[in-house]
A = this chain, B = another copy of it.
Amino acid sequence: MSTGDILRRRDNLLGSNTPLFYDEPLHIVRGEGVHLYDADGRQYLDVYNNVPNVGHCNPRVVQALSRQAETLNIHTRYLHEAILDYGEALTATFADPLSMVMFTCTGSEANDLALRIARHTRPGKGIICSNETYHGNTTAVDELATLFNGGQAIGPNVKAVPYPDAYRPLDGLQGEELTQAYLLRIDQAIAEFEAEGIGLAGMLVCPIFANEGVPNVPQGYLQGAADRVRAHGGLLIFDEVQSGFARSGTMWGHEFAGVQPDIVTLGKPMGNGHPVAGLVSTPELVDSFREDIMYFNTFGGNPVSCEVAHEVLRVIQDEGLVAQVADVGQYLRDGLRALQERYELIGDVRGPGLFVGVELVNDRASKTPATAAARRVVNEMKEKGVLISKIGPGDNILKIRPPIIFSRSNADQLLNTLDEVLANE
């Protein structure tokens, strides 16, 4: 079937504004490891997808899925050991007191549940988020989708603060002054919530600020934020849907950030594409929420989801992927910085582990976002068989975020292709 026919059927069935990638969309039919294949059999190096983290169609994960699906798939109101075996293995990767887990099916559900826990257990309802973010699609979580709302949060119970960014610093400040300037905005948001009688429930951010374009976070910012939020009775919620499961070159993004949260939400790569998600938190918070609120999630924590997620975790551990991500990520950033020396278009190279941002600018002094160039580069890379994307308020930051099994040799292919494309810019 032609792309045109597929697009027509898609418009009629799903709506013409259903999100789609590339000027000429890709028709993907098969995946294996770090590669995707289109309907014409053309191979693409996948440097975008952070869900199939241990590789497209990882055989160990597919086998775990099939084996449990043919044995039993049932909700959690009967006893089953799969949820306990996985949950214990998962929480063992967190420092105390983060020892309890609640399962959902999506990161949106996990963030929505985190908001419910914060607003139920804290005296206030106010949530602080960043001004260029997205955490999911439910009504409550959408109030934090400042990325699609001109930097503004929606409704009285959410306030956005400027995300921390050493490349485009607030008021042109540097060092400790910059950190304090960003922290002052948190103080102000808390004061406003209190003045309005809303009070504070917490702060929900990604510890690597993935959707903001993985900025270099000024030193001390996240610990300062944690201290301020907790001093006013709020919880620090880290959305690790993107930063977690080895992505950051550490098992968890909060290890990279060096700050311990009260709730960690999980999603995307947890089941390598199978819809499993959840949150990890403390006995104090989970028990006090569960004592008051009947929370049940029909598919959440079912034996199939738990066996799949457990196998993903085992692959990460057995194959030493945390160390591999740290190594390949550094190798990749070194290669990109070598390109930066040759191409004026590259203003900044940054990001933890294998979440790398390459900011394209029209000139390095004014740092004007090179939005059109970024679009061309992403589409040209696709034409040359490498899939990346772009992100950021100026839509000018190349988003380089492959499955975490990505190797140095895969990185070489990416670097060589990017070199070719930039040479034509």
Contacts and interface: CB of A to CB of B under 8 A. Distances in A.
A148 B294 contact: yes
A234 to B, nearest CB: 17
Contact of A72 (B7, B10, B29, B283): B29
A10 B286 CA distance: 13
Contact of A294 (B19, B57, B81, B101): B19
Contact of A74 (B28, B274, B302): B28
A112 interface: yes
Given A71-B57, A142-B116, A14 B100 contact: yes
A76 interface: yes
A173 interface: no
A286 B12 CA distance: 10
Contact of A100 (B13, B104, B138): B13
Interface string A9-22: 11011111111110
A13 B49 contact: no
A20 to B, nearest CB: 6
A56 B302 CA distance: 13
Interface of A: 1, 3, 6-7, 9-10, 12-21, 25-31, 36, 49, 51-52, 56-57, 59, 62, 65-66, 69-81, 83-84, 87-88, 91, 99-102, 104-109, 112-113, 115-116, 137-140, 142, 148, 267-268, 272-276, 283, 286-287, 289-291, 293-299, 301-302, 304-305
Contacts of A59: 70
Contacts of A20: 77-79
A78 B13 contact: no
A296 B19 contact: yes
24 contacts: A10-B83, A12-B99, A13-B88, A14-B286, A15-B283, A15-B289, A17-B290, A19-B77, A25-B78, A31-B71, A31-B74, A51-B74, A51-B298, A57-B71, A66-B66, A105-B109, A105-B299, A106-B106, A106-B298, A107-B298, A109-B137, A137-B297, A138-B138, A274-B304
Contacts of A36: 72, 74, 78
Contacts of A99: 12-13
A27 B296 contact: no
A279 to B, nearest CB: 12
Contact of A79 (B25, B76, B106, B301): B25
B106 A299 contact: yes
Given A116-B139, A273-B299, A16 B78 contact: no
Nearest to A69: B62
Contacts of A305: 275
A72 B14 contact: no
Q: Considering residues A17, A108, A275, A287, which has the most beta carbons from chain B within 10 angstroms of its beta carbon?
A: A275
Contact of A273 (B17, B73, B283): B73
A74 B273 CA distance: 7
Given A6-B84, A100-B14, A304 B273 contact: yes
A77 B77 CA distance: 35
Contacts of A274: 69, 73, 299, 304
B74 A70 contact: no
Contacts of A148: 293-294
Q: Considering residues A57, A107, A294, A305, which has the most beta carbons from chain B within 10 angstroms of its beta carbon?
A: A294
Contacts of A275: 105, 275-276, 299, 305
A137 B295 contact: yes
Given A138-B139, A296-B137, A56 B79 contact: no
A305 B276 CA distance: 13
A6 B57 CA distance: 32
B72 A56 contact: yes
Contact of A140 (B62, B139, B276, B290): B139
Contacts of A273: 73-74, 299, 302, 304
Contacts of A293: 148
B56 A15 contact: no
Q: Which 9 A-B pairs have the closest CB atoms?
A: A139-B140, A73-B273, A17-B290, A275-B275, A275-B299, A15-B290, A66-B66, A27-B79, A28-B78
